[in-house]
Amino acid sequence: MDRRIETEKKKRSMKKAFSASIHWHGLQGGALILREEEILFRCRKTSIEKKMQRLSLKYRDIQRLESSGRLRLLPDIEIYMKNGEYYKFTVFRRKKFLESTAVIRKGIDKDICSG
């Protein structure tokens, strides 16, 4: 019984990761990782800028997240930052990604409003 509870706790505390490619001088493959305070893009390619190898997008700095793609066939999302920066990603399991970020951002917005 204790083992099952520990497994459930681990599942809930695990970061959510999604296979993704950033549109940056072509497609650069990697992963989008949802953390408590940020969306982190990790790419292991050494041929791109250091900033893009480990790109941190803080939820508080995101203006909006949109689903995009031609005729919605490609699983693309666009992230617009409050400082004017813009990032486009192809995200596998896009619907689940958007649902997960919405839940996290609701919690953050609630904390900001009550704080």
The strand pair at 27-34 and 16-23 is best described as: antiparallel
- Residue-averaged pLDDT of the chain: 79
The model's pTM: 0.73
Residue pair 114/105 in contact (Cβ under 8 Å)? The answer is no
Q: Which residue's structure tokens are 């999302």?
A: 77
pLDDT band, very low/low/confident/very high, at 10 (cuts 50, 70, 90): very low
- Summarised one tens digit per residue, pLDDT across range 85-98 is 999 999 998 889 98
Summarize the confidence of residues 46-58 as an average pLDDT: 85
**Both structure tokens of 1:** 């019984």
Domains parsed from the chain with CATH numbers: 2-114 (2.30.29.30)
